[in-house]
Amino acid sequence: MKITFVAADGTRTQVQAREGDSVMHTAVQNDVDGIIGECGGSMMCATCHCYVDDGWTEAVGGQEEGESDLLDCAASEVRPTSRLSCQIRMRAELDGIVIHLPESQL
């Protein structure tokens, strides 16, 4: 399955993802700039902040418990489509998902 990352400057990068891996993990392992994931997905850093593309918000579903508190600490603007990418796991319905990256994570 695939994920397309759109950087803050509009650059698009498509990468291959494994089912069950998080979007954060997929970005890091594919050297996508713009997602840090400092805590390795332990919901402790908010450096994996992303915006889910409007066309995909429904498929992705809502935030996990505590996610909004972490997003409060994110470096870039929080929008209704904001998520922690470490909490989005890849599954068949998300094949082809488009993820927008924030200006900065620190």
Partner 1 sequence: MQRIVIIGSGQGGQQAAASLRQEGFSGEILMLGEEPGLPYQRPPLSKAYMANGDAGALLLKPAAFYERSAIMLRDGVRVTAIDRAARAVLTGDGARHAYDHLILATGARNARPPIPGLDAPGVVGLRSLADAERIRRRLAATRQAVVVGGGFIGLEFAAMARAAGVGVTVVEATPRLMARAVSPEMAAHFLDLHRAMGTELLLGVQAAGVLTGAAGHAAGVALADGREVAGDLVLMATGVRPNAELAEAAGLACANGILVDATLATADPAISALGDVAAFPGPLGAPLRLESVQAAVDHARHVARRLVHGDGRPYAAVPWFWSDQGKAKLQIAGLLSGADHSLALPQPDAAPVVLLFRQGRLAAVETVNAPGIHMAARRLIGAPQDSLRAHGYDLRAAVKAVSAA
* Residues within the interface to partner 1 (CB under 8 A): 21, 25, 28-31, 38-40, 42-44, 46, 65-70, 72-73
Q: Which does 86 bind (CB under 5 to 8 A by kind): partner 1, ligand FES, none?
A: ligand FES
- How far is C-alpha 75 from the chain's CA centre? 14
8 binds ligand FES (CB under 6 A): no
Nearer to ligand FES by Cβ, of 10 and 31: the residue is: 31
Query: Which of 9-45 are b and which e, b meaning 16 or more Cβ less than 10 Å from the residue's Cβ?
Result: eeeebeeebeeebbbbbbbbeeebebbbbeeebebeb
Q: Total binding residues for ligand FES by CB under 6 A?
A: 14
- What is residue 104's DSSP assignment? -
Give 49 or 54: the residue with its C-beta nearer to ligand FES: 49
